[in-house]
A and B are shown apart, each in its own frame.
Chain A
Amino acid sequence: MRFGVLQFPGSCDEVDALHAARRVGDAELLWHGERDLKGVDAVIVPGGFSYGDYLRAGAIARFAPVMEAVSEFAQAGGLVLGICNGFQVLCEARLLPGALLGNANRRFTFRQVELDVVQADTAFTRACAGRVRAADVPARLSIPAKHSWGRYYADERTLDELEAAGQIVLRYAPGHNINASLRDIAGVRNARGNVFGLMPHPEHAVDPLTGSTDGLCIFASMRLAVESWARDTRTTLSD
């Protein structure tokens, strides 16, 4: 299992994303200027301040050469995870619906937040039993969030469609919606289910040293998804 972690000028969380991915498989950095994913099994678009957040967060990064390759990879069904700035980039690239606006409190906010895993059956959450509290109650993950532009927005019709299609994957638990995201949305997937973005940082929650290890399951889920597709492909080919 090989992860590719994008690196733009101004990215900073590609380092922890690399470390987190390496707990689950192999991982390497993919430079923004190269239109080459080097055959990785999954792509991580990391957090940070790509291109200084100039104009709008993610507005310039979406046109980087590497993002052309990511777009093709996503169209072909490849797994793409966007974290924080990565989520912003994927929304700007229209690989995910909606947009991220400035926090309602107009402040950079850095807090450990609790997230409800609303959709447990996705390529990014299947391994997230997390802290299961009771039957029929979503698993809850404790993951740090740190951002100024994290308020998720989509128009009412789109939000209703996302709800109906099960595309809202993570919600801020009550009292943890630090940015006033509509419908407490913390993470969404595309319709096909291979692209997922979230504002909090699972890559900062993989080691007991920093408290919660609840973030690791997202990377583990991606590995499970890739391995099961590989198994299915082999089965099909050997028929």
Chain B
Amino acid sequence: MRARVLIRPKAGILDPQGEAVQRALPALGFTGVANVHVGRLVELDVQDASQLESMCEKLLANPLVEDYEIVAG
């Protein structure tokens, strides 16, 4: 099955990429935007979805500084 893993910087940690995007949007005419964060997407076909959490903990995310969300199916 096809799974998607979304990896986000943990709240409370400085996210310079998110800030850069947040500053760029008004220059293009988009207002009312706040709390922008930039993360990472990993998409994969897996035979055993129960392994996904372990994959995230070990490799796909750094749990010290990132949160992850598994979107399966």
- Contact between chains at A99 and B17 (CB < 8 Å): no
The segment out of A24-32, A72-80, A100-108 that lies at the interface is A100-108
- Minimum Cβ distance to chain B for residue A114 (Å): 23
Is A98 part of the contact surface with B, judged by Cβ < 8 Å? yes
Is B22 part of the contact surface with A, judged by Cβ < 8 Å? no
Is A110 part of the contact surface with B, judged by Cβ < 8 Å? no
Q: Which of B25-73 contact A (CB under 8 A)?
A: 40, 59-60, 62, 64-65
Say whether chain A's binding surface is mostly helix, strand, loop, or mixed: loop
* A98–B13 CA distance with the chains assembled, in angstroms: 13
Among candidates A59, A98, A102, residue contacting B17 with C-beta atoms closer than 8 Å: A102
- Contact between chains at A55 and B17 (CB < 8 Å): no
Q: Which residue of A lies closest to B64 (CB)?
A: A99
* A38–B14 CA distance with the chains assembled, in angstroms: 42
Task: Mark each residue of chain A from 155 to 186: 1 if its CB lies under 8 Å from any CB of chain B, else 0.
Answer: 00000000000000000000000001000000
Q: Which of A49-86 contact B (CB under 8 A)?
A: 55-56, 59-60, 63
- Contact between chains at A106 and B59 (CB < 8 Å): no
* A180–B17 CA distance with the chains assembled, in angstroms: 14
- Contact between chains at A59 and B65 (CB < 8 Å): no
Task: Count A-B contacts at CB 8 Å.
Answer: 31
A59 and B16 in contact, given A98-B64, A99-B65, A153-B65 (Cβ under 8 angstroms) = no
- Minimum Cβ distance to chain A for residue B60 (Å): 7
- Minimum Cβ distance to chain B for residue A220 (Å): 33
* B interface residues, how many (CB within 8 angstroms): 11
Closest 9 A/B residue pairs (Cβ): A106-B16, A99-B65, A99-B64, A104-B16, A99-B62, A56-B62, A102-B16, A106-B20, A153-B65
Interface residues of A (CB under 8 A from B): 55-56, 59-60, 63, 92, 98-99, 101-106, 151, 153-154, 180
* A59–B60 CA distance with the chains assembled, in angstroms: 8
- Contact between chains at B60 and A101 (CB < 8 Å): no
Among candidates B14, B59, B62, B65, residue contacting A104 with C-beta atoms closer than 8 Å: B14
- CB neighbours of B65 from chain A (8 A): 99, 101, 153
Q: A63-B59, A98-B64, A101-B65 are in contact. List 9 more A-B contacts (CB 8 A).
A: A59-B59, A99-B62, A99-B64, A99-B65, A102-B16, A102-B17, A153-B13, A153-B64, A180-B14
